C-alpha cells in the first residue's frame, strides 16, 4: 500500500514475477514513465491488484519482456 507514493524521481520500474499483490495507491504521484513486468501478460493478469494501484500515474501501459526485447532497453 502506497509503496512508491510520491517517488517523483522514479522514472522506470521493473516488477518481478515474485510480486503477487499490489496494494492501493502503490504508485500514486510517482514519476514512473515506463512500467515493466518480468513475466507474461497471463502472469500479470494473475497478480492481485487493488482498484487504485495505478491511480494518478503517468505510465499508460505495462510492458512485458516479449514487447521490449531485453527489459529496460
Cite the beta strand spans of 1-73 per DSSP E.
Answer: 12-15, 21-22, 34-37, 48-49, 62-63
Q: Taking a C-beta distance cutoff of 8 angstroms, is the pair 56, 26 a contact?
A: no
pLDDT in tens, the chain (73 residues): 778 888 889 999 999 999 999 999 898 888 899 999 999 999 999 999 999 888 888 888 899 987 655 444 4
- The answer to whether 35 and 12 are in contact (CB under 8 A) is yes
Bridge partners (DSSP) listed for residue 72? none
pLDDT at position 68, please? 56
Amino acid at each position: 500500500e502506497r509503496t512508491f507514493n510520491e517517488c517523483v524521481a522514479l522514472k522506470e520500474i521493473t516488477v518481478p514475477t515474485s510480486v503477487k499483490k499490489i496494494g492501493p495507491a502503490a504508485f500514486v504521484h510517482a514519476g514512473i514513465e515506463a512500467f515493466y513486468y518480468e513475466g507474461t501478460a497471463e502472469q500479470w493478469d494473475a497478480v492481485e491488484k487493488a482498484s487504485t494501484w495505478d491511480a494518478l500515474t503517468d505510465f499508460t501501459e505495462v510492458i512485458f519482456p516479449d514487447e521490449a526485447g531485453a527489459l529496460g532497453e
